Chains A and B, each alone.
Chain A
C-alpha cells in the first residue's frame, strides 16, 4: 500500500520559477538555466512512492536536492510544480489550516542540527508538537514521558538541551517526533551530526523502534552505509533528479548509471546482500508428517532424482534437518527406522536476513547447500556454493572500477 506518492515534483528557487520550469521543458539543463536566468533548480521531475511502514532512504551528495525534497513533503519548502499525495490527498492543495492540521497529525520531523528549543526543558521540547495542538498538560506530559522512555531517556525530563550530549539531544529530537504519534516520520540527516559509534547505535535504535511500531519513515542521508543498513528501499538523487529507486540489493546488483555505480564502489556486496535475496528452493524436500516417514523411501527418492541431499521439513514447512544419501544408507545399516536418526550432524541453518558475509563460513565449510529459514523457522530454500560465488561475481562487476568511473568519481568529489 502506498503511503506517500510523489509525482513530477519540481522546485526551482528564484524570482520567476515558472520561467525555469519552461526552460526545463525546453530541454535545458540545470547549469544552463542558472547561467541564463540565475534560477536554481533544486529538484526536477521527482517521482516515486513510499510504502506504508517502510524506511525509505533518500540518498545523495550535498546539493543533490534531497533536503529540499523532504521539505516539500510537509511544505516547509513550497514546490514549484507537481503532486505530493499522502494517503491519496494532495498536500499541495491544502489550505493554510489544513496544512497546519496535516503537520500536527500526520507528519513529524527530526533535524540534523537537532533544532531543540534551548529555552525549554527536555520534557517541554518533547511535548512541543502536542502543546501546539492544544493537548492539555497532564496528557501531553504522559505521552512525552512515554516517548522519552522509548528512546531511553527517562530521568532527563527536567534537564535543558544544552546539558545533554549530541547523541542524547538527538534522542530528544526523536522523542519529540514520536510523541505526536505521526504516520510519517521525516528524518533529515538525523544522525549525520553524531559521531560514528553513536550514529550506529541510533540506527539500531531506530530499527528497534520500527520493529515495535511500524511507521513510514523518509530518511535523508548522504551516508551510504547508513542507507544500506536502515533502508528498506533507497532513492538515489543527483543534481535534483531521482536517478534510481530500489532495494539496496537491487541497486547494488543493477546500478542504473555510472553515478550510482560510483556511489557504490568500495561497498562490500557481501555486507549488503542477504541470504534471503539469493535463496533458491531447488533442493528435494522431505515432508516429515509422522514418525513413519521412512528412511528407505527417502533414499529411494533421492536416488531417483539423482540428488545427494534431502531437506526435512514438517507439514508447515518448518525446518528439521538434512539427510544425505550417505547418512541414510548408514542409518539403514545401523537398523534405524526413523528419519531423524539419519540427520547429518552439525548442520547450521541461517536466517534470511543474515548477510552473505555472515553466512560465508557455513557455505564454505559444508558440502551441502546451507538451508535458509525465516524468523519463524520456515524453510525457504538453500544457498549453494555455486550460487554464492555467482552472486559475488555479478555484484563485483557492478562495482569494478573502470577508467570511466574513475574520472566520474573525481568529478563527484570535486
Chain B
C-alpha cells in the first residue's frame, strides 16, 4: 500500500489554490502593503540618481570618514569611482536605493520585534520557527507568490529582499537585550524605573553594539539578494549578472558581480565601524 507511487496529500494543489484565492480576494490589501515601499524606494532612488555622481561619491566618502577614519574615506571614494568607470553607476545607485529601502523597513519592523522577543520568552519561542523559515526557504520558492501578489519590478524585489534580510536584525536585537546583565535591570527596577525606562535607559543602550551588528548583517543579506531580485525584474547591479548568465556573456556578469562585492565591502566597513564606535 505504501509504495508512494501516487500523491496522497495534494499540498501543491492547496497552495496554488490558496495563493490564487489571495490574489483574487485581497489584491487591494497587497497593493496597500506595496505602497509605502514604493514611495520610499522611489524617493531614495530618485534622489541618488538625480544628484551628480561626484557629489554622491564625496558624500559617501565623508560618511565613511566620519564613521571610521580617513583610510576608509579614501577607500570608499576610490571604490565608487572605479564602479563609475566600469559604466555601472546608475545600476549601483538603483541597487543602493533598494538596499537602503529594504534595510529601513527591516529596521523599522525588526528592532521592535527583536525587543519584544528579547523581553518575552514566549514571543521568542513563537517567532523562532518563522525566522528559521524566512532564512532557509530558498528565495526562488517565494518569488512566485511575490510576483503574483505584487507583480514584477523593483518594489517586488525590495519585498523579497525584506523577507530574506529581516531575521538577523530580529535575532541580534533579541540577543542584545538578553545579554544585558540581569543585575543592571534589577538595579534599575530597584531605583524605581518603569518597564519603559528599563528599556530606554538600560537595555537598548547596552544592546546597541549587538543591534548594530544585526543591522550590518541585514545590509549584507540585502545585498546578497540583488541578483535574485533581478530575476523578478528588479533593476540594479543584479541585472547585468542575470543578463550575462542568460547570454553567456562572462564579461558583463563579472563586472556586475565585482561591483556588488565592492559595494558590499564599503557598506560592511562603514556599518561595522558604526557599531564598534558606539561600544566605547
Q: Is the CB of A100 within 8 A of B194?
A: yes
Answer yes or no: A209 CB below 8 A from chain B CBs: no
- Pair B197/A103 contact, Cβ less than 8 Å: no
Asked if residues A115 and B192 are in contact (CB atoms below 8 Å), the reply is no
Q: Which of B187, B193, B205 is within 8 Å of A111, CB to CB?
A: B187
* Complex: A105 Cα to B183 Cα, angstroms: 21
Interface size bracket, A side = 20 to 34
Return B221 CB to nearest CB of chain A, in Å.
Answer: 28
- Which residues of A in the span 58-78 have a Cβ within 8 Å of any Cβ on B? 74, 76
Alpha-carbon separation in the docked complex, A311 to B223 (Å): 95
Look across to chain A and name the residue whose beta carbon is closest to the beta carbon of B205: A119
Kindly provide the distance from the CB of B201 to the nearest chain A CB, expressed in whole angstroms: 7
> Taking the complex as formed, is B33 at the interface, i.e. its CB lies under 8 A from any CB of chain A?
no
Are B191 and A128 in contact, CB atoms less than 8 angstroms apart? Answer: yes
Question: Are A109 and B187 in touch, CB under 8 angstroms?
Answer: yes
CB distance from B274 to the nearest CB of A (A): 16
Q: Is the CB of B186 within 8 A of A180?
A: no
Q: Are B193 and A113 in contact (CB-based, < 8 A)?
A: no
Contact B183 A113 (CB under 8 A): yes
Most A C-beta atoms less than 10 A away, residue of B183, B187, B191: B191
State the CA gap A118–B184 with chains docked (Å): 9
Given contacts A111-B183, A132-B197, contact A117 B202 (CB under 8 A): yes
Q: Is A394 an interface residue (CB 8 A)?
A: no
A104 lies within 8 A of B187 (CB): no
Task: Give bound CA distance, A161 to B115, whole Å.
Answer: 26
A129 within 8 A of B: yes
Shortest CB distance B101–A (Å): 31
Q: Which residues of A contact B194 (CB under 8 A)?
A: 100
Tell me, rounded to whole Å, the shortest Cβ–Cβ distance linking A186 to chain B. Answer: 8
CB of A170, distance to nearest CB on chain B (Å): 13
Within B201-220, the residues touching A (CB, 8 Å) are 201-202, 205-206
Which residues 167-194 of B have a CB within 8 angstroms of A?
181, 183-184, 186-194
Q: Find the A residue at minimum CB distance from B279.
A: A119
| A193-211 contacts to B (CB < 8 Å) | none
A101: interface (CB < 8 Å) = yes
Residue ID in chain B nearest A109 by CB atoms? B190
Task: Evaluate contact between A76 and B191: CB separation under 8 angstroms.
Answer: no
Instruction: Give the Cβ gap from B202 to chain A, nearest Cβ, in Å.
Output: 7
Q: In the complex, A129 Cα to B192 Cα: how many Å?
A: 7
Chain B residues packing against A (C-beta within 8 Å): 181, 183-184, 186-194, 197, 201-202, 205-206
A residues whose Cβ falls under 8 Å from a Cβ of B: 74, 76, 100-105, 107-109, 111, 113, 115, 117-119, 128-129, 131-133, 176, 180, 186
